[in-house]
Amino acid sequence: IHTIDLKPPPKEIATKTHHITQDLTDFESLRSDLKSLKIDVAVHLAALVSGDPSQVLRANVDGTANLLETLRPHPPKLIIVASTAAQLYRNAQYMPIDEKHPITPVTSYGLSKHLTEEVARFYYRVHSLPTTIFRQTNVYGPAPVQKFTVINKFIEDALTKGYITIFGDGRQVRNFIHIDDLVQYYVEAIHYPSPERLAGQVFNISGPEEYQIKPLAEKIASYITPKINKKIKVVHGPPSIPPEQDIHIFNISSRKAELFFNFKPRITLVEGIPKTIAEMHEP
């Protein structure tokens, strides 16, 4: 297993991988680092999710184009490109939301992922690179990279600050998938018996349920309060985007992925949140 990132891998996997410290936007260095590797499957998870819009677009779009161009001379049997569901679909125009639902990004990250998908489709259509797109919902669970996702951030703030901040009125709706279920989807794809069937496909990758943000924060607070013997408050901050652009209707379907991979997410929030709290609250 080879990993490419600007940061070293977590210590839990550092001894199990060969790590390459590299910036995907540096095409020549990337090509030099990868030219001697024989790659069976490539999983593209790298992304910049916030910051200056021009930097987000450059990191995500140029980085993806550089990676795919580097892989083009000697294609792997499969290239999985991680994308986003909520940032692309926004409010449902019909339900359930399938992979053909209109795309209407309103953030620089959402726009960058839309363009990233177009890059992946271009390389599939023009150069026959076997790209597959995973449109993932909000991931949570014990993993260092999940530190700033909604549920993990709520848990972290509750444990360290004693309160949870909701930006906006809390009526926003999100779908959540536990990291263990998400990883299983990737495992199923990597070991798919006929990888050529996955080339050019787009999959919604979602968890078993949607939840409003305010009740979610209150649920997390109720779990943590007895653990630390301190009542966790839920407070409100200004909305991060205009309320009319936020997501209040989000019934998403991952039926296509479930049928292809013969796997259905199993971990509900009732099981997954306490499990995540226990991992993050270890002494």
Q: Using omega within 30 degrees of 0 as the cis cutoff, is the peptide bond preceding 96 cis?
A: yes
* Radius of gyration from C-alpha coordinates of the chain: 19
- From the list 130, 107, 92, the residue with the least C-alpha distance to 48 is 107
Owner of token pair 């690179």: 129
Q: In the numeric block, which tokens belong to residue 21?
A: 């410290």
pLDDT at 145: 63
Q: Where are the domains positioned within the chain?
A: 38-280
- From the list 58, 87, 92, the residue with the least C-alpha distance to 240 is 87
Q: Partners of 83 in the beta sheet?
A: 135
Is the CB of residue 183 less than 8 Å from the CB of residue 146? no
pLDDT at 164: 97
In order along its 283 residues, the chain shows pLDDT tens digits of: 899 998 888 777 878 889 999 999 999 999 999 998 999 999 999 999 989 999 999 999 999 999 999 999 999 999 999 999 999 998 889 999 999 999 999 899 999 999 999 999 999 999 999 999 999 999 999 876 666 689 999 999 999 999 999 998 999 999 999 999 999 999 999 999 999 999 999 999 999 999 999 999 999 999 999 988 999 999 999 987 777 778 888 899 999 999 999 999 999 999 999 999 998 887 5
The rounded distance, in Å, linking the Cα atoms of 121 and 132 is 9
Owner of token pair 């971990």: 267
Is the CB of residue 273 less than 8 Å from the CB of residue 149? no
CATH of segment(s) 38-280: 3.40.50.720
Q: In the numeric block, which tokens belong to residue 263?
A: 């796997």
In the chain the beta strands, taken as DSSP E runs, fall at: 2-5, 18-21, 41-44, 78-84, 131-136, 138-140, 163-167, 173-178, 202-205, 209-212, 233-237
Specify the length of the chain in residues.
283
Pairing status of strand 138-140 against strand 78-84:
unpaired
pLDDT at 48: 92
Query: How far is residue 280 from each of residues 9, 159, 176, measured CA to CA in Å?
Result: 19, 9, 18
How far from chain centre, in Å, is Cα 26? Answer: 23
Is the CB of residue 259 less than 8 Å from the CB of residue 138? no
Other CB atoms within 10 Å distance of the CB of residue 224: 24
pTM score over 0.85 = yes
- For residue 23, the SS3 value is coil
Q: Partners of 2 in the beta sheet?
A: 18
pLDDT at 244: 72
Is the CB of residue 29 less than 8 Å from the CB of residue 23? yes
